[in-house]
């Protein structure tokens, strides 16, 4: 309730005003002299003071002067009650800071009007003041908590957010973690060298914008130091989820930026540390994510890397692998082997699948299922895979020239290769250098590569297909997605995984599955290849149902190129089905 203080020595006037104001609904206090009024004002900080001018001891002016001096009451509206209407009185009162005057005796209406005006004024002042204070505080907060270049939250706010997340997620289910991504743009130095610092700044600003737009509400994006973005999700996720997000980010940052009307392309790398597995404080997590980021750089950039303890403590393992891997590439310890593909329509060899082999000196050959996951993890698969593509494309051309018949070459593509933005470009180059028509190249992908980020995958596949190559879904049936789901991806070939072909003739369940797959695939106009055909019974089943192509030890194991050439020479015209 609005509090009004009356200071008036004339009892009659005082009581009269008291009653009037009380009837108006104010909380009213009264003092019968100046000193008492002053004490009461300071003790109760009323919203408005009505004060007589002429009083014994302390006059109204003196009360007013003292009221204005005290910070508690300095802004309280003060209305002088006066019997005189002399000009000097007004001037004196105004000089001391009175808001208004009332000449006694005054009517109820006069009184209420003056009081209302003053209270209103006071309210407006107070509101303005509060708003300004709030604005200043907000500005200050913003400055303290944001980076001035990108306008993103800074290191300090990141810490706040992280603590909040930590409080809300004290116990994460096994397999779940909260990923912390550290991202930096690559070639930024080159951009500022070529175009100036403003360009680099602009680029950082636009990258910040894009990260914010693409990542949505659930994600916190901070800029913690020059060219270092931190992305923090407040939801826990599985490793797969973290991978998908990292790939997603890399992909959308590859879209061109427009800087002062000019298009600029950048790549980024990301280091990922998982909370709580890789650290339980933000400092540790950021350090570890940065270690992973550095590693991503040494791998050529434009990629993500998860932190592994080897980055910090013993780097030797992965590094040793790395080293032997690079050496192996140089010293040609890798070879591409080729497994013939037999057409069930003609019974003849119509192509091959390229399969990688690693022969370390003095050791048995290492199986691709052993080293490919490591190569994937370290990123080396990218250069290795490119080498396989180039080798296989050239080889296909040679064999096509040798036999003068079409020859379809299938090459396995790893997820890491698939997400690269330069895949289509490189592929086009490889094909043209090998002078191989694109329709003779089949790219084999497993469904897990596609379902991680279906939207991006679809776009990528369309881009690849526009080159004219064929897309095959490899290991079909071993994943978790249905054909109905996979249908959204534009592929041409379906490869039924070996595990369904095994004992197909005797195992009812496998037979039923394969029959169903064949039917569905043919309805969708897909070519079907069965892999891992080892027995005559399996072959016969597939001929009956029918399947388009087969691969397997029944006809040939994967062979080195020269042996495959001989095989072609001898059996190129042979009908393997003996019809």
- Tokens 């079409």, residue located: 406
265 to 48, 225, 229, 251, 321: CA distances (angstroms): 66, 22, 18, 12, 32
CB 450 within 8 A of CB 393: no
Which CB atom, from 53 or from 514, has the smaller least distance to ligand C2E?
514
Per CB under 6 A, 93 contacts ligand C2E = no
- Under the criterion CB under 6 A, does residue 479 sit at the interface with ligand C2E? no
Q: How far is Cα 252 from Cα 232, in angstroms, rounded to an integer?
A: 17
Of 137-145, 240-248, 294-302, 549-557: span binding ligand C2E (CB under 6 A): 549-557
Does position 558 interact with ligand C2E (CB under 6 A)? The reply is yes
The torsion angles phi and psi of 528, rounded to 5 degrees, stand at -115, 130
> Does the protein bind ligand C2E through residue 313 (CB under 6 A)?
no
* 334-343/304-306 β-pairing: unpaired
Task: Select 232 or 349, whichever has its Cβ closest to Ca ion.
Answer: 349
Count the residues of the shown chain that bind ligand C2E, applying the rule CB under 6 A. Answer: 25
Provide, rounded to whole angstroms, the least separation between the CB of residue 241 and ligand C2E: 23
CA 219, distance to chain mean position in Å, is 7
For residue 444, give Cα distances in angstroms to 305, 440, 474, 496: 24, 13, 6, 12
* Interatomic CA distance for residues 553 and 531, integer angstroms: 9
Find out whether 9 and 55 touch, Cβ atoms under 8 Å: yes
Residue 507 DSSP label = -
Interface residue list for Ca ion (CB under 5 A): 412, 444, 474-475
Q: Which stretch binds ligand C2E (CB under 6 A): 290-298, 341-349, 368-376, 459-467?
A: 368-376
Shortest spacing between CB 155 and ligand C2E, in angstroms: 39
Tokens of 199: 């360009």
E strands present in 330-477: 334-343, 349-359, 365-366, 408-412, 441-446, 470-476
DSSP state letter for 367:
P
Q: Of 436, 551, 559, 567, which one interacts with ligand C2E (CB under 6 A)? A: 551
CB of 230 to ligand C2E, least distance (A): 32
Pick the closer one to ligand C2E by CB: 474 or 548.
474
Comparing C-alpha atoms, which of 236, 186, 228 is closest to residue 208? 228
With respect to ligand C2E, which residue has the nearer C-beta, 106 or 471? 471
The site partner of 532 among Ca ion, ligand C2E, none (C-beta below 5 to 8 Å per kind) is: ligand C2E
Q: Give which of ligand C2E, Ca ion, none residue 470 binds (C-beta under 5 to 8 Å, depending on kind).
A: none
339 binds ligand C2E (CB under 6 A): yes
Positive or negative torsion for Cα 374, 378, 379, 380: negative
Among 186, 333, 442, 474, binds ligand C2E (CB under 6 A): 474
Least distance (Å) between residue 397 CB and ligand C2E: 18
Q: Under rule CB under 6 A, which residues in 374-433 are in contact with ligand C2E? A: 385, 388, 412-414
Nearer to ligand C2E, 157 or 303 (CB): 303
Strand partners, 79: 50, 100
Place of tokens 């203080």: 5
**Can you read off the two tokens belonging to residue 98?**
């009175």
User: What is the Cα gyration radius of the chain?
Assistant: 41
- Using rule CB under 6 A, residue 364 touches ligand C2E: no
Give the whole-angstrom CA distance, residue 302 versus residue 225.
20
β-bridge mates for residue 28, sequence order:
4
Per CB under 6 A, which region of 87-95, 98-106, 204-212, 551-559 contacts ligand C2E? 551-559
Min. distance of Cβ 355 from ligand C2E in angstroms? 4
CA dist., res. 48 & res. 6, Å (int): 9
Q: Are 257 and 207 in contact (CB under 8 A)?
A: yes
Query: What are the structure tokens assigned to 302, written together?
Result: 């434009």
155 vs 394 by CB, closer to ligand C2E: 394
Task: Decide which of Ca ion, ligand C2E, none touches 367; Cβ closer than 5 to 8 Å per partner kind.
Answer: ligand C2E
Any contact of residue 369 with ligand C2E (CB under 6 A)?
Answer: yes
Least Å distance, CB 382 to ligand C2E, is 10
By C-beta, is 10 or 534 nearer to ligand C2E? Answer: 534
377 binds, options Ca ion, ligand C2E, none, Cβ within 5 to 8 A by partner type: none
Q: Which of 128, 163, 367, 519 binds ligand C2E (CB under 6 A)?
A: 367
Residues that bind ligand C2E (CB under 6 A): 339, 354-356, 367-369, 372, 385, 388, 412-414, 444, 474-475, 498, 531-534, 551-553, 558
């Amino acid at each position: 309730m609005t509090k009004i203080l009356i200071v008036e020595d004339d009892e009659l006037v005082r009581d009269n005003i008291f009653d009037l104001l009380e009837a108006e609904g104010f909380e009213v206090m009264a003092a019968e002299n100046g000193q008492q009024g002053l004490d009461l004002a300071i003790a109760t900080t009323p919203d408005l003071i009505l004060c007589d001018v002429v009083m014994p001891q302390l006059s109204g002016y003196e009360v007013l002067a003292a009221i204005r001096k005290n910070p508690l009451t300095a802004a309280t509206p003060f209305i002088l009650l006066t019997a005189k209407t002399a000009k000097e009185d007004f001037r004196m009162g105004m000089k001391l800071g009175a808001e208004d005057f009332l000449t006694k005796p005054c009517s109820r209406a006069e009184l209420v009007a003056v009081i209302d005006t003053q209270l209103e004024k006071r309210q407006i002042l107070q509101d303005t003041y509060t708003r300004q204070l709030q604005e200043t505080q907000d500005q200050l907060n913003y400055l303290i908590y944001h980076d001035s270049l990108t306008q993103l939250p800074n290191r300090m706010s990141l810490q706040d957010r992280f603590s909040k997340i930590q409080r809300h997620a004290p116990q994460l289910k096994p397999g779940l973690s909260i990923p912390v991504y550290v991202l930096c743009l690559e070639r930024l130095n080159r951009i500022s060298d070529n175009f100036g610092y403003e360009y680099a700044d602009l680029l950082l600003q636009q990258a910040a914008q894009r990260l914010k737009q693409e990542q949505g509400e659930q994600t916190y994006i901070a800029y913690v130091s020059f060219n270092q973005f931190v992305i923090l999700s407040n939801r826990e996720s599985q490793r797969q989820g973290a991978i998908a997000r990292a790939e997603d980010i890399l992909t959308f940052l590859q879209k061109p930026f427009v800087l002062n009307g000019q298009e600029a392309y950048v790549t980024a790398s990301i280091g990922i540390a998982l909370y709580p597995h890789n650290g339980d404080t933000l400092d540790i997590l950021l350090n570890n994510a940065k270690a992973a980021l550095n590693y991503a750089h040494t791998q050529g950039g434009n990629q993500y890397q998860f932190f592994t303890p080897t980055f910090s403590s013993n780097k030797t393992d992965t590094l040793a692998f790395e080293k032997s891997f690079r050496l192996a590439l140089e010293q040609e310890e890798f070879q591409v082997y080729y497994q013939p593909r037999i057409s069930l329509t003609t019974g003849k060899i119509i192509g091959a699948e390229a399969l990688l082999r690693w022969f370390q000196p003095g050791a048995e050959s290492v199986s691709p299922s052993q080293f490919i996951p490591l190569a994937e993890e370290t990123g080396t698969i990218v250069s290795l895979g490119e080498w396989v593509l180039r080798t296989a494309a050239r080889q296909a051309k040679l064999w096509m020239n040798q036999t003068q018949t079409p020859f379809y070459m299938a090459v396995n593509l790893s997820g890491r290769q698939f997400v690269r933005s330069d895949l289509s470009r490189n592929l086009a180059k490889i094909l043209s250098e090998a002078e191989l028509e694109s329709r003779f190249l089949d790219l084999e992908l497993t469904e897990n590569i596609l379902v991680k980020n279906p939207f991006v995958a679809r776009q990528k596949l369309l881009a690849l297909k526009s080159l004219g190559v064929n897309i095959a879904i490899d290991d079909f049936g071993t994943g978790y997605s249905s054909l109905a789901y996979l249908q959204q991806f534009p592929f041409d070939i379906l490869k039924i995984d070996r595990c369904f072909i095994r004992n197909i003739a005797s195992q009812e369940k496998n037979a039923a599955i394969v029959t169903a797959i064949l039917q569905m695939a043919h309805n969708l106009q897909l070519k079907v290849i069965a892999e891992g055909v080892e027995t005559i019974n399996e072959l016969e089943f597939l001929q009956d149902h029918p399947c388009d192509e087969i691969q397997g030890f029944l006809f040939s194991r994967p062979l080195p190129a020269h042996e495959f050439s001989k095989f072609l020479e001898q059996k190129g015209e042979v009908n393997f089905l003996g019809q």
